[in-house]
Amino acid sequence: MVIFKFEPLYKVRPWGGTIIKKQFCRKINPKSNNIGESWEVVDRAEAQSVVNDGPMKGQSLRQIIQNNSNDIMGPNWNKNARFPILVKWLDCKERLSLQVHPPKEIAVQLGGQPKTENWYVANSNPNAGLFLGFKKNTEQKQFEKALKDGIVESLCHRTKSCIGDSILVESGRIHAIDKGNLILEIQQNSDTTYRVYDWDRVDENKKPRKLHIKESLQCINFNDVKPEIIRTNRTNKKRVIADCDNFRITKFNLKADSKFIIKHAKTECILLHLIEGSIKIDNTIIKDGEQVLSPYFSECKLTILKDSTFLVTDHFVNQQNLDSSLSN
């Protein structure tokens, strides 16, 4: 069996904290108290995952795909197409901005990229929450006035977040992650975000961060009311928690001393995300918080060393756009 693990890329954010470092026992350099994002799997011009072990250690995700596209991704894969999924840990010590991602047709008009993402809540404080959509159908003019008056929060639907929650944040959905959450974000390979409101926050120079109100207003679905949250726990052995045009995510809870075949060889490329526990694949130990890429040509058979909760992302190869552009 062959798997790939990658070196995380850490991003300092004004809303970040230290939970990624503490919960997953990671040595993070620089030693910052504001690590907001850990980019776990990424294939972009400005950021590349690098293999951290095995015969291809030191090679980027882009290199291994370009040099072994059929083995990694499957037959007929365009080797110049970006890996279609981006995976991040988000440590939300403070509230993130209120934002939206563009739907495909609008992204083209605005020169951005469409982005649908899924949040899995791995940890949360008792008062943690999420902003998702609106409390009720909202007129655009009503929303614009609320922005000017500084009362936009009163229109947005806020719900308590709990460990095990899964939320599909479709493009066009207004959203924000409130403080006190550790979230695994699995998304389309896009970095287009339009910030519509930042809670009057200022940066280290006492200046407000840039907003994208004009672009946001073109993207927001004002009829998106109280979207569904999937509440999960540790009782179900297997449950699909997200299924859209761009990917499918399945949650597994497996007991220690069991074996499980996630996929057979020459079926598809998948990602495995260990939330907690300990897993062995062949002779490689997978630790809490780690991501694994299992390529198309290889079987993926797990040995569960202790009770484990993990996610599997698949069905992204069949949906991939064979655009050969590497500009993003």
Active site residues: 195
Q: Is 218 helix (H, G, I), strand (E, B) or coil?
A: helix
CA dihedral for 61, 62, 63, 66, sign (positive or negative): positive
Inter-residue contact 254 to 308 (CB < 8 Å):
yes
Could you tell me which residues are beta bridge partners of residue 202?
Answer: 208
Q: Which two tokens stand for residue 209?
A: 């961060």
Cis peptide before 30 (omega within 30 of 0): yes
Closest by CA to 261, choosing from 306, 307, 312, is 312
- What type of residue is 150? G
64, 65, 71, 75: CA torsion to nearest 10: -170
The residue whose two tokens read 């404080």 is 125
Residue 103 vs residues 19, 116, 188: alpha-carbon distances, Å: 32, 8, 12
DSSP secondary structure letter of residue 153: G
Q: Which two tokens stand for residue 251?
A: 């949650």
What is the 3-state secondary structure of 109-131? HHCCCCCCEEEEEEEECCCCEEE
Could you tell me which residues are beta bridge partners of residue 225?
Answer: 134
Radius of gyration of the chain (CA): 20
Per DSSP bridges, beta strands 284-286 and 270-281 are antiparallel
Cα–Cα–Cα angle for 19, 82, 314, rounded to 5 degrees: 65
